Chain A
Amino acid sequence: MDHGAAPAQPDTCAIEASDIRFSWPNSAFSMTVSEFRVQRGEKLLLLGESGGGKSTLLSLICGVVSPDQGSIRVAGQELTNLSTFRRDRLRANKIGVIFQMFNLLPYASAVENILVPLCFSPERRTRCTTPRDEALELAAALGLPRNLVTDEPASNLSAGQQQRVAVARAMIGRPEIIVADEPTSALDKKSQAEFIDLLFDQVAQAGSTLIMVSHDERLADRFDRTVQLSDLVVTSGVAVA
């Protein structure tokens, strides 16, 4: 396994983290990451079980939490220098997030869910001249029936359909980085393969960087690189998530 130390110039990195130390407030859990780099356009698989600091690492990359020490650069920006507001704005502009399940706002339709990130990202909004049409195109490309996307509340969609809507939402406005947290674990075998195909198509079309967390080693050969979470992250104490 490569230890996430691919030699590269800083500006060719989508994500570059070094010497990170982080602990949750009021918790014994702490973790360190000595070196973590993801190239622009790279498809990276992070292999690991829950509890290995996975969620914390993703939170750090997304700028939801800030490390106690160390440096994280996302899309060329040093997160640790940014205010909370700027970190939120950077996440909105640069990162599309796909969760394991329950990705969608249940009361809004799929197309409205797809449009939510534009609400927080001026940068991605400018890339969409006709947001609604682009959202519908994405949904169509992901094989979602149109009436299902526009007329039904998201809660009426099946798990597989919801995950595909989540992909469309992550991809709208073509962010540079897609972070997917075990997106296939709630799907059956057949849907899993289909989902990965669709996700890769979209990521390739947008030229985005993909970081996917999974515990399924069989997916490894589809990615450019695979990193074991346990090699990357050193934890102590009890994980919160």
Chain B
Amino acid sequence: MDGAPPLRQRLLLVDDEDAITSMLAPFFERAGLDVVVARDGAQGLAAHDRHHPDVVVADVMMPVMDGREMVRRLRERHVWTPVILLTRLGDAAERAVAIDEGADDYVNKPFDPHELLSRVRAALRRQVVGREPLATAQVLVSGTLRLNRSLHQVTVDGREVSLTPRAVLLLDYLMTHPGEPHTREHLLSVLWGFSFPTSTRAVDQRVAELRRVLSDDPAAPCYVETVAGSGYRFCGDVVRG
């Protein structure tokens, strides 16, 4: 893999399940990525130092050092390589902590490999080499909108606005992934950790709440834009506050 053409982006895959890595590694390689495999968080850190991947996909529960600890250590060393964690299905607390500790995204196990690949590609598009990602920011700002992520506090023009916890969670996810279109199904798993049999209403209602409270006109949005036929995207510029 070291002899791969330099233009191919490199993915570090960290999971202790050989059955998963032996199937996923060739899958990612066929998708045009170089793949390096490690079996736990400690090996993952070592492999990161050696191979300088562009993106990391790591399981959370692993022997020796788990995925969250690995992310924490990378961020302590000011390494901002995007990390996608493979979290336990439905565990909202685990996902929230993963993001707080500096992971960029998460995908629930068991996942559709194509869904994971689309998350990897989005993380690679989002990445600006050497710059701390928005996922690690405490405060995010877009125009007059300001989100304090640890306090779950939202202000517009300096005035605090009242949103339901789930609407804040949705806004947080959209603002940390600006410009990316998200399907309603994916946003639903962000809100709930699992998919509903029907995929529209729960997300649509929260988006309607965000638009109402943030006075965002759906016809000319500053923040949340409807992506025709699929879902939503945060259309404003987002910077660390």
Tell me if chain B binds chain A. no
Q: Mark A residues whose CB is within 8 Å of B.
A: none
